[in-house]
């Protein structure tokens, strides 16, 4: 079985689906001849040509608007926005058009756009290349929001997204693009959308995370085990739809919760998870829910190592929650 990093897993999923279904079209800035800023589309132009791998002008609203039109006329477009931070000129196309067509047409039309974009910090990109604003899209009914953390899940979830009928925001943690490797089957497989993954089982505390924070959570859980604290790590994988059952089942087992994400704390998706737990499992809680997140500031360039949650901050939160009486 081949070993892939996340970039090659994205490439493998796109290549597989483009060979399988000639309706799949890739478009975006530099995705063609150059293979994308992170080389996730490398080689696709050479195999499928300029009619299916389209280098666009530098216009995010045009990229997403064109993708919406393609989808309504029967294609299955995969637009790439080079960085999540650049998506805002296309925000109206995403939340007012892409997300709404199925509802506004009473189900007569679907809009199967899979919008790929790297998100988050950890590569010294500065405040215009490092933001984690997934909560904006989770707040928009009609969108599926996926955040993989491993190459295996990346290929399987992207394949599932490309075969679905709903518009998807597919957020790729650029910090993990080449930092993680995994065995990824060449064979056709999908990872179900809306199903969380239990990364590590435990009985003392539930640590909920996604994307680039999953390896941080794993390391913090391993350190906690050295002090006889068994942490259950839940990788959400999909934020919308959310695997509510997996979250509540784990919380009822452990009674203690830490929520971890890279995005700023205020208005972050962790608040939604905390509210969900309070509504459905408050009687199981033995301590307050603690969130570990980015700070409520613009993403700093020189101090990104202080802004991003690390093992030390997560370990402090675990200790605080476990010792609460």
Evaluate whether 293 touches 268 at the Cβ level (below 8 Å).
Answer: yes
| Rounded-to-integer distance, Cα 305 and Cα 205, Å | 26
* Residues 94 and 140 sit within 8 Å (Cβ to Cβ): yes
Name the catalytic one among 129, 204, 227, 305: 129
Per CATH, 3-183 and 197-322 having the same topology is answered yes
Whether 227 is a known active-site residue: answer no
Look at strands 231-235 and 197-200 and give their pairing.
antiparallel
197-322: in CATH 3.40.50.920: yes
Model pTM greater than 0.75? yes
State which CATH number among 3.40.50.970, 3.20.20.60, 3.40.5.50, 3.40.50.800 fits the domain covering 3-183.
Answer: 3.40.50.970
Which helix (H) or strand (E) element contains residue 246?
A: helix 244-254
CA distance linking residue 152 with residue 175, whole number of Å:
16
C-beta separation of 4 from 182 below 8 A: yes
pLDDT in tens, the chain (325 residues): 899 999 999 999 999 999 999 999 999 999 999 999 999 999 999 999 999 999 999 999 999 999 999 999 999 999 999 999 999 999 999 999 999 999 999 999 999 999 999 999 988 888 889 899 999 999 999 999 999 999 999 999 999 999 999 999 999 999 999 999 999 999 999 999 999 999 999 999 999 999 999 999 999 999 999 999 999 999 999 999 999 999 999 999 999 999 999 999 999 999 999 999 999 999 999 999 999 999 999 999 888 889 999 999 999 999 999 999 8
């Amino acid at each position: 079985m081949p070993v892939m990093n996340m970039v090659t897993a994205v490439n493998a999923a796109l290549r597989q689906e483009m060979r399988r279904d000639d309706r799949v079209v890739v478009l975006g800035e530099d995705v063609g001849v150059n293979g994308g800023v992170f080389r996730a589309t490398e080689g696709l132009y050479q195999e499928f040509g300029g009619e299916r791998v389209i280098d666009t002008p530098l216009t995010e609203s045009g990229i997403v608007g064109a993708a919406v039109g393609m989808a309504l006329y029967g294609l299955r477009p995969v637009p790439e926005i080079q960085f999540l931070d650049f998506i805002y000129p296309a925000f109206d196309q995403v939340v007012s058009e892409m997300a709404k067509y199925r509802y506004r047409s009473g189900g007569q039309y679907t809009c199967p756009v899979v919008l790929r974009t790297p998100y988050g910090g950890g590569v010294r990109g500065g405040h215009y290349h490092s933001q984690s604003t997934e909560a904006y899209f989770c707040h928009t009914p009609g969108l599926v929001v996926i955040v993989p953390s491993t190459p295996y899940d990346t290929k399987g979830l992207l394949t599932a997204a490309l075969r679905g009928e709903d518009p998807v925001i597919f957020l790729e943690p650029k910090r993990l693009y080449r930092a993680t490797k995994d065995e990824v089957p060449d064979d056709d497989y999908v990872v179900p959308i809306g199903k969380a993954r239990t990364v590590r089982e435990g009985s003392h505390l539930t640590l909920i995370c996604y994307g680039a924070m999953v390896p941080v959570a794993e390391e913090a859980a391993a350190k906690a085990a050295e002090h006889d604290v068994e942490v259950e790590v839940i990788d959400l994988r999909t934020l919308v739809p959310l695997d509510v059952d997996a979250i509540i089942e784990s919380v009822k087992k452990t009674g203690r919760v830490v929520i971890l994400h890279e995005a700023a704390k205020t208005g972050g998706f962790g608040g939604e998870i905390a509210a969900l737990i309070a509504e459905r499992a408050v009687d199981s809680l033995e301590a307050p829910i603690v969130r570990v997140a980015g700070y409520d500031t613009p993403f700093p360039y020189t101090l990104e190592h202080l802004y991003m949650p690390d093992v030390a901050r997560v370990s402090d939160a675990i200790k605080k929650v476990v010792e609460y009486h």
